[in-house]
Amino acid sequence: MSSVREINEFVVEPDRFLKILDDPRTRLLVELQDLVLQESAGFWAAKGAKNLHLPITTNTISSPMGLGSDSLPVKVSMFGVDTYLADSMQFMLEYGCRLAPEGAWYLMPSFRGEDADETHLNQFFHSEAEILGDLGDVMALSEEYVRALASAALERLSDQLNEHAGGTAHLEAMVRSAPFTRLTLDEAVAHLGDDGQSVRHDEGGWRVLTRFGERRLMNEIDPFVWVTHFDHLSVPFYQAYGDDEKRTSLNGDLLFGIGEVVGCGERHVTGAQAREALVHHEVPEDDYAWYLQMKDHSPLQTAGFGLGVERWLMWALAHDDIRELQLVPRFNGQVLAP
Query: What is the pLDDT, as a whole number, of residue 10?
Result: 80
Strand partners, 126: 108, 308
Residue 110 placed within a domain: yes
- Measured CA to CA, the distance from residue 126 to residue 195 in angstroms comes to 32
Q: What angle do CA 40, 139, 228 make, to 5 degrees?
A: 135
Query: What is the pLDDT, as a whole number, of residue 274?
Result: 98
Within 8 A by CB and 6+ apart from 124, the residues are 109, 110, 112, 308, 309, 310, 322
Residue 203 placed within a domain: yes
Residue 333 placed within a domain: no
- Number of domains within the chain: 1
> Three-state DSSP class for 262?
strand
Q: Which long-range contacts (CB under 8 A, 24 or more apart) does 289-292 make?
A: 290/60, 291/60, 291/91, 291/94
Low-confidence ranges of the chain (pLDDT < 50): 1-5
Residue 337 placed within a domain: no
pLDDT in tens, 12-27: 999 999 999 999 999 9
Residues 33 and 313: beta-carbon distance below 8 Å: yes
Q: Which domain holds residue 70?
A: 5-324
Residue 320 placed within a domain: yes
Residue 221 placed within a domain: yes
What's 30's domain CATH number? 3.30.930.10
Query: What is the pLDDT, as a whole number, of residue 210?
Result: 96
Query: What is the pLDDT, as a whole number, of residue 62?
Result: 83
Residue 330 placed within a domain: no
Neighbours of 327 (CB within 10 A): 11
Query: What is the pLDDT, as a whole number, of residue 41?
Result: 98
What does 119-159 look like in DSSP terms, one character per residue? TB-SEEEEEEEEEES-HHHHHHHHHHHHHHHHHHHHHHHHH
Query: What is the pLDDT, as a whole number, of residue 5?
Result: 46
Structure letter (DSSP) for residue 239: B
Residue 85 placed within a domain: yes
Within 8 A by CB and 6+ apart from 333, the residues are none
Query: What is the pLDDT, as a whole number, of residue 67?
Result: 75
